[in-house]
Chains A and B, each alone.
Chain A
Amino acid sequence: MTRKFDLPTLFVGAAAAFVLAFIYLPMVVVVVYSFNPDAVNVFPMRGFSLRWYRVLLEDEQLVSALRISLLIALGGTSIGLLLGVPGAIALARHEFPGKRILERIVLLPLTLPGIVTGVAMLSFFPLIGVPVSLLAVLIGHGTFLIAITLTQVYARLRRLDPSLEEASADLGAPPLTTFFRVILPNIKTAIIGSALLSFTLSLDEIPVTFFLIAGDNTLPIQIWAMMRRGISPEVNAISTLVFAGSIGLILLGTALGGRDKE
């Protein structure tokens, strides 16, 4: 079958290709130039080298920033799970006074600009004995990660037939048994997905972190600091690793989510 020469389709296709290139080309440039043997990023690149990855490994500040970021992400994700999952169950399955207000409050960290949340926390946390520190950063991350987990798990629960829980109780299972044997298996993938998402978002967070951090930088803040000092291809290398890491987490998340859909 021959297709007619189709001008509008061709035009839309070309526009689509341009936009896709616009989104990806800059990232490709960063990855390619992370193998740049020179200290300046110019075209054309002269050769291929792992030089900047070696520099990276010896950069103690960067390695420490990565370690701090991973710890904060781990802690923040745990807070998000421990408080977000019960909150999602309460909102999806129970009626209580103040429910509507809580629903709106939960969305605030997702809808309001991070900078406002950041300066609000910066002003308030010292008053309740939390000075500007990694602890403050952890609390800040935990707060918006509760929102992430809660909304994701809530959406799953809304699609889960509530009579499953009634059936479990009807068959003699007390509430905790129902939770572990009926609810949990059915929201498991949403929990894992939101944990991966939380982890990725925490690793990348800047606006809130920027205002709450004291001395020790997280990874994105450290990268920012390095950029301000001047462009070093070392940043290309760390950026490439960050890309690889976040894409890995995303693929893991969609793979788990996809398995759930079949």
Chain B
Amino acid sequence: MGIVELRKVVKRFGDVEVVKSLDLSIEKGEFLTFLGPSGCGKTTTLRMIGGFELPTSGEIYLGGREVSALPPYKRDVNTVFQSYALFPHMSVRQNVAYGLEQKRLPKAEIERKVTEVLAMVRMDAFAARKPRELSGGQQQRVAVARAIVNGPSVLLLDEPLGALDLKLRKEMQFELKSLQRKLGMTFVYVTHDQEEALTMSDRVAVMNGGRIEQIDAPVAIYNRPKTRFVADFIGETNLLAGEVFRDGSAHAFSLGSARIPIEPDAVLEAGHRISLSVRPEMVTVRKAGDGEAEDVALPGTVEETVFVGSVWKTVVRLAGGERVVATEPPATHGHIEQGSSVVVGWNPKSAVVLEA
């Protein structure tokens, strides 16, 4: 049994079912992230683990104990809030000591632990300040310190970096990740920023419409998305809609009159509606009649080609009207001009077959 277990957890607000029968097991020491668009139920799920919302039905276990109906102050978890929720009338030190005081630890021990954790987040020099005298990044560190000082079995983080600017956010991502490794603590993280999720997590749970669409390691989420939603939501991709064409045991994808070889995980019926997801960096663009043809070769016209910093981005309109985007490093980019006829291709292994 994982350190956090959700069983058939449902949350309804009035008539709206925000979380739909969720099953999930989180391992001890794991960094798990709920990722999804706003309104997907990720924050509600986190708040149910924290005890701020009670599930409409289903059970929640923490460390093997059922806590479904327990209030937050009786749960061994702590939270880093999106707004930080630092007590404005208390100093940094008083904020961090608050949880330990509730446990009625001896004064000396509280003092020692607070000093230790403030040093860990490099806020020891600011212990006497009030929250409003700190920058956003500093407040964020205090919020983390205030939560981890209690040594919770699970730390919940609700978009903790959402209010910071991009540069600071990247710094904090690495700091949080290394803190988590050092403490060996279970982190459950909520974000709508896919890059953040992929960078920090051991596993990512992609949520949509109150369900987990896919839960996997970041590489798998990116390379082998299981649903159209995941493929589309994570990174950029070309999503083509068509149906299965069978030629003996080999599968193909029929896109208009073109037949594209595919390698699905399972045997599919001919005529079955499917989607094909191909990442732009997997797509090659060649001038028509140039070089040897790949397994996939679709004729088209270049609509636009722009340099976006690290790569060239080329948009090709296929004969059937579909748009395919390709990104290539400058070294392999063939300087194809707008309006020229081209052939786009990819390795069939790099295309993911999805239910339509």
Contact = CB atoms under 8 A, between A and B. Distances in A.
A touches B (Cβ under 8 A): yes
Most buried by A among B50, B78, B102: B102
A181 B147 CA distance: 18
A163 B83 contact: yes
- Decide if the interface of chain A is mainly helix, strand, loop or mixed: helix
Listed residue (A164, A166, A171, A181) with the most chain B CB atoms within 10 angstroms of its CB: A171
Contact of B102 (A161, A163, A166, A177): A177
Contacts of A173: 73, 98, 102
Interface string B69-99: 0011100011101110111110000000011
A182 B87 contact: yes
Nearest to B89: A185
Contacts of B98: 168, 171, 173, 181
Nearest to B50: A170
A171 B88 contact: no
Number of chain A interface residues as a range: 10 to 19
Contacts of A115: none
Given A161-B85, A171-B98, A171-B102, A166 B79 contact: yes
Contact of A172 (B50, B85, B88, B150): B150
B42 interface: no
Interface string A169-187: 1111110010001100110
B73 A166 contact: no
Interface string B140-167: 0000001100100000000000000000
B112 interface: no
A167 interface: yes
A9 to B, nearest CB: 38
Contacts of A177: 102
A161 B87 CA distance: 10
A169 B83 contact: no
B187 to A, nearest CB: 15
A49 to B, nearest CB: 51
Contacts, number: 60
Most chain B beta-carbon neighbours within 10 Å: one of A166, A167, A181:
A167
A148 B82 CA distance: 33
B83 A161 contact: yes
Given A161-B85, A163-B81, A186-B88, A169 B51 contact: yes
B257 to A, nearest CB: 58
Interface string B166-206: 00000000000000000000000000000000000000000
Given A167-B87, A170-B77, A170-B78, 16 more contacts: A161-B83, A163-B85, A164-B85, A164-B87, A166-B50, A166-B81, A167-B79, A167-B81, A167-B86, A168-B87, A169-B71, A170-B73, A171-B78, A171-B102, A172-B102, A185-B89
Interface of A: 161, 163-164, 166-174, 177, 181-182, 185-186
28 contacts: A161-B85, A163-B81, A163-B82, A163-B83, A164-B87, A166-B52, A166-B72, A167-B79, A167-B86, A168-B87, A168-B98, A169-B51, A169-B71, A169-B72, A169-B73, A170-B50, A170-B78, A171-B73, A171-B78, A171-B98, A171-B146, A171-B150, A172-B99, A172-B102, A172-B103, A173-B98, A174-B73, A181-B98
